[in-house]
Amino acid sequence: MSNNKKYDVVVIGAGPAGYVSAIRCSQLGLKTACVDNWLDEDGEHRLGGTCLNVGCIPSKALLDSSEHFHQVNQEFADHGITVKNVSLDISQMMARKNNISNQLTSGINALFKANKVDLHTGSGQLKINNQIAVTPLDKSKKSYRLDADNVILATGSNPLNIPVAPIDGDKIVDSTGALSFTEVPKRLGVIGAGVIGLELGSVWSRLGSKVILLEAQEEFLPFADRLVASEALRHFGNQGLDIRLGARVTSSSIGKKQITVSYQDGKEQKRIVVDKLLVSVGRTPHTQNLFAPDVDLIIDESGFIDVDEHCRTNLPGVYAIGDVVRGPMLAHKGSEEGVAVAETIVGNNAHINMDLIPSVVYTVPEIAWAGKTEQALLKEEIPFNSGVFPFAANGRAKAMNADIGQVKVLSHAKTDKILGVHIIGPFASEILQAAVVAMEFEGSAEDLARTIFSHPSLSEALHEAALAVDNRAIHAINRKRK
């Protein structure tokens, strides 16, 4: 293995954490390389990792397409629009999804060239003294070594497998497989009613599949605010999603055409028969073979790399970001960590506010939140006030025929500092960002209440919820304080 090149920074992984970090490092004047080994289903190298290839972007493309199909069939009549003989072309839908991903991954290639980031297509392994062994994807080429003053580990995560439902890529699939069905399954079983299960379950439900989600936990979306989660569960049920809580899958068996899934519901053993089964029980950090055996990198029992608040590992000059470290496995969190590490390397001040990472479930209605939940505030005995405003009282939501859900603002009872904002409703992900900006500047509910919001707009619901914190909502009846 010959010594090839010396870099200021070598990034391993080109997902949202890795490619963003590599670009920012180069912008700051650091000689930067990125090593990446992602291959698509045709064996072609693609940048962007899971998010752009088989995660965030393709799933949102299918969510959008399936919602259009649902609206044509179920909602256009309310607008006085009649459409006859509606048909579904799955192959075209998938082609659109793939085209969107390809455009974005190609865009990263262009960004790398424009920012002078050297791309090495292959698998990278951390050796001692910050050396990176690169095994090229092109089998005809020999392995080589890169030397670096700094190394950033950003290899992402993989879907978690469970022994009771081993993935075969045909009838039992992970999220990648569920993004590539060639036809709508009549019955789709989903193990796990978290973000991925809900989003992909929604896609196929809108397209005509009977979807049953089996969730082992007794509580629905336990990480979300209880008011929002309970309303979401009700709306999903009305949409036809069959969500069964406290359903622990015990086994599965594949027949000639169907899969039988057995699960424990309390003391009772039950089963369902489905045509396809999606396993979406979480993800695990991709740290296998990332470093040589003689490299003393500290990882925990779950495979996460141990880092401090600046994403520094226990090894000098070695950082880790994104899904391989603590915190939520979210693309935007990884990207911001990547930028912060780049700034840290050149000596600039950098900070990631782990308490204000927005979370979104891209269903209809959307669910989005940032900050503390009410149950967390109660547990921590933090005094708070709450303001809630329904989209049913929002003029823009009414005009859009999307008036379900609400906005909830939580503020400190003494200082009025905004502690959390939780939204279920149309474009919740976009409305939330105004609240996140306010929270980042340690704003109060009064700050939002005094801000002028355009009318008619969905974001007025955030304004009214802030007013409701102090019982001053204008377009809803204020709740009496105890």
Catalytic center residues: 455
Cis bond upstream, residue 383 (ω within 30)? no
**Spatial contact of 344 and 377, defined as CB atoms under 8 Å apart:** no
Spell out where 266-400 has E strands.
268-274, 276-279, 283-285, 318-320, 359-361, 366-371, 384-390
Burial of 472 (0-12, 13-18, 19+ CB in 10 A): middle
Q: Say whether 296 sits in a helix, a strand or coil.
A: coil
Displacement of CA 468 from its chain's centroid (Å): 30
**Spatial contact of 154 and 324, defined as CB atoms under 8 Å apart:** yes
Displacement of CA 122 from its chain's centroid (Å): 26
Q: For the chain, give the longest Cα–Cα distance.
A: 74
Burial of 241 (0-12, 13-18, 19+ CB in 10 A): buried
Nearest in space to 291 (alpha carbons), one of 143, 135, 125, 144: 125
Distance separating the N- and C-terminal Cα atoms of the chain = 73
Structure tokens at 285: 């950090």
Q: In this structure, how many other beta carbons lie within 10 angstroms of the beta carbon of residue 330?
A: 19
Q: Say which amino acid occupies 250.
A: T
**Spatial contact of 341 and 310, defined as CB atoms under 8 Å apart:** yes
Structure tokens at 473: 């909502």
Q: In sequence order, what DSSP letters do the residues of 230-271 get, joined into one string?
A: HHHHHHHHHHT-EEEETEEEEEEEE-SS-EEEEEEETTEEEE
Nearest in space to 347 (alpha carbons), one of 29, 16, 11: 29
Rg (CA), the chain: 24
CA distance 391 to 389: 7
From residue 263, alpha-carbon distances to 164, 180, 211, 218, 464 in Å are 10, 26, 16, 14, 44
DSSP state of 39: B
